[in-house]
Homo-oligomer: A and B are copies of this chain.
Amino acid sequence: MFQTGSQTLRDFNETQIIENIKQWLGDTSPPSPFGIGDDCAVVPSDPSAQSLISTDALVYGKHFDESIRAEQTGQKIVLRNLSDIAAMGGYPKYATLAILSGADLSIDWLHEFYKGVRETADTYDLKIIGGDLCQIQDRQFQAVMTIVGTATTPILRHAASINDSIYVTGQLGGSILGKHYDFQPRLSEGQWLAENNLASTMVDITDGIAKELHFLANESASLEIDLESIPIAQSAQLLAKKSSETPLQKAFCDGEDYELLFTLNHSIQSTQFESDWKQQFPQTPLTKIGTIVEKNPLGNIIDSVSKKSIDDLKSFDHFKQK
C-alpha cells in the first residue's frame, strides 16, 4: 500500500484527492450540502427517534496490515461502526470518515479502500456525508469513522436484572483468520431485540467476551457463566492448536468477534424466545451462556460450576502489555 513506484498521494493536491473520493463514493455521498463539499454536512432531523453516535478508528499495523486487501480494509471500518449501532438496536443513517495517511500511500490503494467503504455502506443503506484528509508520517494510515444512527428504544448497558438469561450470537474467537474484516453486523437481530423489548442490556463483542461480560454487571448484579456452553469458533480451535492457549481461552480473549452479547428480560420465557429466534434468524446461532445473579462478593463473573470468580481472565487491551 505504501509505494515509491506508482502514484501516491504526494502526486496530487488535497482538492484533487477530495474530488477523487467524491467520485469514488458516487451516490453513497449525497450532493453537498447533504454530503462532502461544505464546512459541515446538513442533515434533516428525525423527530420520531433518538440519535445514536459512535466513533471508531482503524489503524494500520494494529487493526489491519497488508495481509488483507484495500477493499477489505474499507469494508472493515464500516462494519466495525455498524456493529456499534447494532449493539444499541439501532438503524445506521450516515457517517463521516477522516483519513490520516502518509503521503506515500498509493492512490490505487485508496481507491480500492473507498470501493470497500462504498459497497459496504450501500449494503446497509449508510451515507458517507463528510470527513477530513490529513497528512501524517510516511508508512502510516489511520481511518476514523463517526457513525450516526437512530433508535426509538435503544438498548443500554448496565440494565440487567437478577434471573435475566445471558446470550451470545454466533461463535467466538479466532477472528484473525478472516472474520475480523468479513462479518455481518447483527443489525437485524439488534433491532428485533430492541423493538420487541426482549433484551434488558446489550453490547457488541469487540475486545473479547472476557472484557465485555464486565459491562453487563452492575451494583446489584453479577454473572454466572457456564464455561462449557461458550460457543467456540472453529478458527479458535485451529489457532489454539498452534499456541499455548486453550480454545476456550481464545474464545474468551480474542478480540473482534463483532457478535452481540445480551441479557434476556427475565419476564420472557427462554424456550419461547429461543424458538422465536430460530424462526426470525435461522442463520444466526444463539447460545445461552449464563444467568444474571445477585451481586456476588467474589466478583462480577462467576464460573457456574466451581462458583469461583473468573474476573481476571485476561482479554485484549489496547495499551497495557499483557
Contact = CB atoms under 8 A, between A and B. Distances in A.
Interface string A20-48: 00000000000011000111111111111
A219 to B, nearest CB: 14
Interface string A76-101: 00000000110110100010111010
B39 A43 contact: no
Contacts of A39: 54, 84-85, 87-88, 157, 203-204
29 contacts: A13-B317, A13-B319, A14-B317, A14-B318, A17-B319, A33-B156, A38-B157, A39-B85, A39-B88, A39-B157, A39-B204, A40-B53, A40-B149, A41-B52, A41-B53, A41-B54, A42-B151, A42-B154, A44-B50, A45-B46, A45-B50, A53-B129, A55-B130, A55-B132, A62-B134, A100-B142, A103-B319, A136-B142, A144-B144
Task: In the A-B complex, list the 9 residue pairs whose CB atoms are closest, starting with the nearest.
Answer: A47-B47, A146-B146, A39-B87, A40-B52, A13-B320, A55-B96, A40-B54, A144-B144, A14-B318
Given A42-B51, A44-B51, 17 more contacts: A12-B320, A14-B319, A14-B320, A40-B88, A40-B147, A41-B52, A42-B154, A43-B50, A44-B50, A45-B47, A53-B130, A55-B97, A55-B146, A57-B98, A57-B100, A59-B135, A98-B146
